[in-house]
Structure 1
Amino acid sequence: MPSLTPELTDLLAAVHRLDGSDLHLRSGATPKIRVSGSLQEAAEVAWSAEQVTRALREAMSATVLRDFEETWEADFAVTAEGLGRFRVNAFRSRGQDGAVFRRISDGAVPLEQLGMPDVVRRLALRPRGLVLVTGPTGSGKSTTLSAMVDVVNAARPVHILTLEDPIEVVHRDRVATVTQRELGSDTRDWPAALRAAMRQDPDVILIGELRDADTVRAALSAAETGHVVLSSMHTTDARETVLRLIDFFPAHEQPRVRAALAVTLEGVVCQRLVPRLDGDGRVCVVEVAVRDARFAEAVADPDKTHGITDVVASGAYSGMQSFDQHLLTLVTEGTISLDTAMLAASNPHDFTVALRRTGWAPEQPVGRRVLESAP
């Protein structure tokens, strides 16, 4: 049976105590914890290769260990009593074992607590179609998806089927029935699990990540046949998300894919984490695209896809918002600094012009110079 060594348990306790997000463990290096986006040392001395190997291999099940020894890659989850669950990616670095432990919330965090606009809740409750949550690694995509699943779980008497690698947040049946399947322990083959999903009478399907053409094809097929499909991608905004989905396929298939996306892609929630002005952690900046006539047309027509950014920025009536529009709100509310917003803005010049029009007066000297330089 998998277990945690006392040394590893102490480090995971430190992650919990510091409200950190990740523990970095590597042979010959000092363990580090990511807190509010920055890495800090979690021990005074480096861990030896023997310590890392022992800690990882005791934490692995026999199946995970066998796969790790064959491929030198492994994704699994561990539970530390009193500390919660951690998602683990184990790997090899310069011939030695290493891993990153990502802390997982104990149960789904409500969307409101995440600072998500209400349109994200409405997207979760759509009766059919594809809804994507995108962003870079560590931006909270899994947290948002679990919150969306929780919204459905609390509101609709449906069957929710999740396919995850690994399971992160454990969902208990509420109004809905939730079946969670994990790669490696509940299914050995991702394509087979996707094919079998349609025979398990799901209403809502969560696919952990759209990572290749086969996965996208399965997601589109499910969405076209009346299911809700929730998933994630590593893309930066709505426009890139659409282009990436299409680029998964060869040129001769792309017109059909565009047509399918135009009628099934209900929404794209793109997110980034930026530091708060008060230093108390980070806040999520969100771009939201929602399917309406203009968005569907931009997805279907390759000559108009480049205009998705403008569609999002002008689509407030449908619940849409761009990154820069959300950044503007966060700056004027005093949640983040102007300099932070400038670093995160998609178009810094246009952002400063829009901010100047609000009449907001900056307090940071650097920010004042940036703002005054705008026409």
Structure 2
Amino acid sequence: MKILKIENDALKMVATAMGKAEMFASLNKDSLMKIATRAKLCQYDSQEVIFKQNDPSETFFMLIKGEVSILHHHKSSDGMIELGRIKPNSIIGEIGLLLNEPRTATVHATQKTLILKFDRALFEYMFEHIPAFGPSVSQNLARRVQQLSKNIPLPFYDKNSDLPSPEILEMLPLDFVIRHRVLPLKATQNVLSIGFVDDPSSRVLRAVRSFLPSMELQMVRIDNELFDNVLGSQAGVKEWSASAEKPEEDEKKSLDKSSPKLDTLLKRMVAEGASDLHLSAGQVPHWRIDGEIQDIADTKKIGAEEVFELLDPVMDERSKKEFSDHNDTDFIYPVFETGRFRVNLFRDDLGIGAVFRFIPTKILSFEQLGLPQILKKLSDHPKGLVLITGPTGSGKSTTLAAMIDYINTTRRAHIVTMEDPIEYVHISKRSLINQREVGRHTNSFSSALRAAFREDPDIVLVGELRDSETISLAIETANTGHLVFGTLHTNSAISALDRIIDSFPPDQQSRVRVGLCDSLKGIVAQVLCKCIGGGRAAALEVLVVNTAVANLVREEKINQIKSTMQTGKAQGNMLMNEDLAKLVRRKKVDYNEALSKAEDKDDFVKRMQQ
């Protein structure tokens, strides 16, 4: 911390800034100048602590420039929980000073920050010598009470109701449940009844919505006794752990290969509701919460080789060799009783970096994800090709997992998946499922597809149609009596058709068109939008292929398919802009967010004006 002089221009700047804070807004310029000359102007560097939890409250502060993070440590947790961040013109710590109680949280700067510091003597001076200050403080506190009184109390959960089943509890990670004392209780279609021991903060609600992006929440109050009873009744039950899906394999991996420091970060990531963890050489760790990248409070910068040192103990020889040969690699890392993480390890100009994506263990149903019924109909086809398309991070894997799980639950079939890497782990239910990972179980998607002809499959999932060879084999597989699912990175159903056809030389494109006409059953394009209040919602475009669409593909009239989709809504066709407009009208997604996701922005604006 560095103390700066408050004089001349600095004095004017401080007085002006004070006038923008609610506590000082009613004071005149002369009073503000008197206070400013007696306060201390402090400059804090990034990550520097301003005060710690349980310190005595002998001062309060006003943030002038920069940003600070509020952190809380609970006796039941391993690390600090970030409660929120505070922007300029905010007052910090005055309640503790008034009540003469210890600090209830730790506050540190997230960047270079200017703070005005008021000690107890100055606080008493303001009450005694500045008549308007007392009423101003009272009004400020009254506003806080009024804001709190507007919170609608949660209804209490009926204690006589049955305890939630393991299937329901799986919807949220155990680390998150324990950290925030929150329980999933009951799910009906896409509505989840969820219980809170403490008042739900906006941060916790956003985290719940990030785990369950398309579910509506019905919040209820639960007491400590119910919470402890549920945790006690599920103690040791494997269904409430990340290893439930393949306990023998994943538990063994986690126990045989572990990295304690990395595991601690990943457990904290899950507990805080982050979707991704970023470790980059020369920078502090970051994570993505509710779609936004944030630095992680109370962490230090990472050394150039530190990321590799964290991951080396948990990487298999294939991943190590691939990283050595190509400077990047992908693999799955399971952490016992926490979750599975998709890992990308890479080199950049500062050293070695890694990104970890949390993979939920619970596979949600169509209803829980809010997906349209037409996806069930596409999954019911006995044979053909179904494509799921969208940009990276648009939820394609989640949608595909729901489709495979639906088939697994309703049909007696043999399902073979080819993935890079395996994300959602399926247990055989009515169907028999074999999951193969490119690099570990097969050399490539194309070689796995060739082998599939000898594996007696009914349904084949191809994680990514990367090249013309894989696409050609997928079409051939679909045309020989199998139902094939595949993914592409395109933004619309129609552009997916163009991408497939353009992957082939001109002299082969006619043959590909014929193959598509005979095999293609539907294309689902999707994007994820930030929801108002946190979480994500999927906007979908669905092309259902019928005779008319097949003829347009054959006749090279793909540009006319959109009009066919508009007139064929009864068959399940949906346009992306229509779904985006619905999300806005239902007040789930902000207008500007939806507009940013629209490919044809003029068309979206017109639809919103109708």
Same fold per superposition (TM over 0.5):
yes
Q: Find the aligned partners of 1:11 and 1:61 in 2 and give their Cα distance.
A: 21
Structure 2 equivalent of residue 17 of structure 1:
271
Is 1:32 matched up with 2:289? no
Q: Find the aligned partners of 1:198 and 1:45 in 2 and give their Cα distance.
A: 52
Alpha-carbon deviation of 1:188?
A: 3.1
2:326 paired residue among 64, 68, 71: 71
1:300 paired residue among 554, 573, 577: 554
1:318 paired residue among 568, 571, 585: 571
Alpha-carbon deviation of 1:133?
A: 0.7
Q: Find the aligned partners of 2:305 and 2:604 in 1 and give their Cα distance.
A: 51
| 1:112 alignment partner, SS class | helix
Q: Find the aligned partners of 1:188 and 1:254 in 2 and give their Cα distance.
A: 27
- For 2:609, the aligned partner's letter is R
| 2:367 alignment partner, SS class | coil
Q: CA RMSD in A?
A: 1.6
- For 2:382, the aligned partner's letter is P
Pairwise mapping of residues 187-266 of structure 1 onto structure 2 (< 5 A)?
187-266=442-521
Contact persistence 1:273–1:284 (CA under 8 A):
yes
Structure 1 equivalent of residue 589 of structure 2:
336
Q: Find the aligned partners of 1:292 and 1:328 in 2 and give their Cα distance.
A: 26
Aligned length in residues:
355
When residues 349 and 80 of structure 1 are mapped into structure 2, their CA distance, relative to the original with a 3 A threshold, is same
- Of residues 346-355 and 139-148 in structure 1, the stretch that sits farther from structure 2 once superposed is 346-355
- For 1:42, the aligned partner's letter is I
Structure 1 equivalent of residue 542 of structure 2:
288
Is 1:183 matched up with 2:438? yes
Q: Find the aligned partners of 1:37 and 1:111 in 2 and give their Cα distance.
A: 23
- Of residues 106-115 and 82-91 in structure 1, the stretch that sits farther from structure 2 once superposed is 106-115
Contact persistence 1:313–1:325 (CA under 8 A):
no
When residues 321 and 47 of structure 1 are mapped into structure 2, their CA distance, relative to the original with a 3 A threshold, is same
Alpha-carbon deviation of 1:102?
A: 1.1
When residues 346 and 62 of structure 1 are mapped into structure 2, their CA distance, relative to the original with a 3 A threshold, is closer
- For 2:552, the aligned partner's letter is A
Pairwise mapping of residues 155-174 of structure 1 onto structure 2 (< 5 A)?
155-174=410-429
Is 1:354 matched up with 2:354? no
Structure 2 equivalent of residue 85 of structure 1:
340
Q: Find the aligned partners of 1:41 and 1:352 in 2 and give their Cα distance.
A: 36
- For 1:153, the aligned partner's letter is N
Deviation per CA, 1:223-275, whole angstroms, max 9, x where unpaired? 01010111111000011100000011000000010111112111111110111
- For 2:415, the aligned partner's letter is I
Structure 2 equivalent of residue 364 of structure 1:
none
- Of residues 245-254 and 189-198 in structure 1, the stretch that sits farther from structure 2 once superposed is 189-198
When residues 314 and 56 of structure 1 are mapped into structure 2, their CA distance, relative to the original with a 3 A threshold, is farther
Deviation per CA, 1:342-367, whole angstroms, max 9, x where unpaired? 2222333333333333xxxxxxxxxx
Alpha-carbon deviation of 1:329?
A: 1.3
Contact persistence 1:238–1:308 (CA under 8 A):
no
Is 1:96 matched up with 2:351? yes
Q: Find the aligned partners of 1:201 and 1:95 in 2 and give their Cα distance.
A: 49
Deviation per CA, 1:191-216, whole angstroms, max 9, x where unpaired? 32221111000000001000001110
2:305 paired residue among 50, 55, 78: 50
- For 2:601, the aligned partner's letter is P
- Of residues 43-52 and 31-40 in structure 1, the stretch that sits farther from structure 2 once superposed is 43-52
Identity of aligned residues (%): 39
Contact persistence 2:445–2:462 (CA under 8 A):
no
Alpha-carbon deviation of 1:315?
A: 2.0
Q: Find the aligned partners of 1:312 and 1:26 in 2 and give their Cα distance.
A: 45
Q: Find the aligned partners of 2:340 and 2:548 in 1 and give their Cα distance.
A: 42
Is 1:272 matched up with 2:527? yes
Q: Find the aligned partners of 1:185 and 1:225 in 2 and give their Cα distance.
A: 27
- For 1:306, the aligned partner's letter is N
1:139 paired residue among 394, 408, 425: 394
- For 2:590, the aligned partner's letter is S
Q: Find the aligned partners of 1:8 and 1:213 in 2 and give their Cα distance.
A: 39
| 2:274 alignment partner, SS class | coil
Q: Find the aligned partners of 1:48 and 1:81 in 2 and give their Cα distance.
A: 27
Q: Find the aligned partners of 2:480 and 2:281 in 1 and give their Cα distance.
A: 49
- Of residues 183-192 and 146-155 in structure 1, the stretch that sits farther from structure 2 once superposed is 183-192
TM-score of the superposed pair, with normalisation by structure 2: 0.56
Q: Find the aligned partners of 1:274 and 1:232 in 2 and give their Cα distance.
A: 20
Contact persistence 2:263–2:335 (CA under 8 A):
yes
Greater gyration radius: 2
Deviation per CA, 1:154-191, whole angstroms, max 9, x where unpaired? 01100000011111111001000000111222123443
- Of residues 40-49 and 213-222 in structure 1, the stretch that sits farther from structure 2 once superposed is 40-49
Q: Find the aligned partners of 1:104 and 1:354 in 2 and give their Cα distance.
A: 36
| 1:116 alignment partner, SS class | coil
Compare relative contact order (CA 8 Å, sep 6+) and give the higher one, 1 or 2. 1
Q: Find the aligned partners of 1:221 and 1:185 in 2 and give their Cα distance.
A: 25
- For 1:282, the aligned partner's letter is R
Contact persistence 1:4–1:55 (CA under 8 A):
no
Contact persistence 2:305–2:351 (CA under 8 A):
no
Question: What 5-or-longer segments of structure 1 have no aligned partner?
Answer: 358-375
- Of residues 322-331 and 91-100 in structure 1, the stretch that sits farther from structure 2 once superposed is 91-100
| 1:162 alignment partner, SS class | strand
Q: Find the aligned partners of 1:193 and 1:343 in 2 and give their Cα distance.
A: 38
Structure 2 equivalent of residue 6 of structure 1:
260
Contact persistence 1:84–1:106 (CA under 8 A):
yes
Q: Find the aligned partners of 2:523 and 2:570 in 1 and give their Cα distance.
A: 16
Alpha-carbon deviation of 1:22?
A: 1.3
When residues 309 and 5 of structure 1 are mapped into structure 2, their CA distance, relative to the original with a 3 A threshold, is same
- For 2:325, the aligned partner's letter is E
